[in-house]
Structure 1
Amino acid sequence: MNRVLRSTLVATLLAPALALMAQASEPTNVKELQKARHDHYHELGDNFKVVRDQVRTDKPDLAAIKTAAKFVNDAAGEQEKWFPAGSGPEAGKTQALPEIWSKPAEFKAAMKMFSDAAPKLQTAANSGDVAAIKTAFGDVGKSCKNCHDKFRAEEH
C-alpha cells in the first residue's frame, strides 16, 4: 500500500474517533453545562483579580498582568457559548437570571460591552503602561458590573 493511500485510510478511520473524543470532553447534560459555566466565570474572576491586585502594588508583575489580561480577553470571546438554552434556573440552582434567555438582545449587548472592553485591557497589558492598564481595567470592571446588575442573581 503506498503512503498516500495509507495516510488517507488512516485519516478516514481516525476522523470519527476524534469526533467522538471531542464530544466526550464537552458537557453532556444541563448540570454539567451549569457547572462548566460557573467554573469558567470563577477562572475569569481569578484572572481579573490578578490584574486588580497587581495594579495596586508599587511594582506590578507585568508578566502576570499580561497573562491574566489574555485570559480575560479570550473568555470575553467565548462567553456567549456558556449560556445555551435550557441551562437557566429552570434546570437547577444557578446565578444566571432568566432574563438572559427572555431578553436575549439586552444580554447580547451586555456581553458585547465586555467583549469590546477586554481587548483594550490586553492591549494595555501588552504595552506595559500601568496607567493604561488601570484605565482599561476600570472599563472592563464596569462592563462586568453592567451585566451582573441585570443578569446575575446574588450569591446565597
Structure 2
Amino acid sequence: MQAAMGAFDGIIDTVSAVHPLLPLIGLLKSHGKIVMVGAPEKPLELPVFPLLAVIEILSRHASDEFYLGQRDGGDYWTSDAEPLEAFKRFGKNLEEIENKLIEKNNDETLRNRYGPAKMPYTLLYPSSEEGLTFRGIPNSISI
C-alpha cells in the first residue's frame, strides 16, 4: 500500500459499512476525488485534524525551494546567449507581474482586491519566504 501512496486520480468506495477513510485518502493525488457509493445511512466522520495537518504541511514552502524564473547554480544549463536572455526577460516579467499585483492590492477603488477580510491577493507573487505564506510559484511540485 505504501508504494501506491499519491498514485490515484480517483477512488470509488463501494463499501457500505463504516470504515476508516484515511488510508484511502493517502492513496489519492493532491487533487484526487473520492466517490462514496452505497454509503452508510449514518454520516461518516472524517478525521479533520490529520487532514488539515497534511494540507498545511504540503502547502509550506521549503527553505531551499526555487521559484518560477529562478535557477540553482547559475547559468550552467546552457551556454547559448539567446535562451539565457529569454530566461532573464521572463524573470523580469514575473517581477513586473508582482509589482502590478501590489499596485492593484493597494488601489482602494478595486474593492474586490481585498474584500471584507482585507487580505490582499498574493498567490501569483513569483517568490516566497519559507513557511506557509499564501504566495510563491514553485519551479516544480512533487508530493
The normalised TM-score by structure 1 is: 0.26
Higher-helix-fraction structure? 1
Highest Rg: 1 or 2? 2
Higher-strand-fraction structure? 2
The normalised TM-score by structure 2 is: 0.28
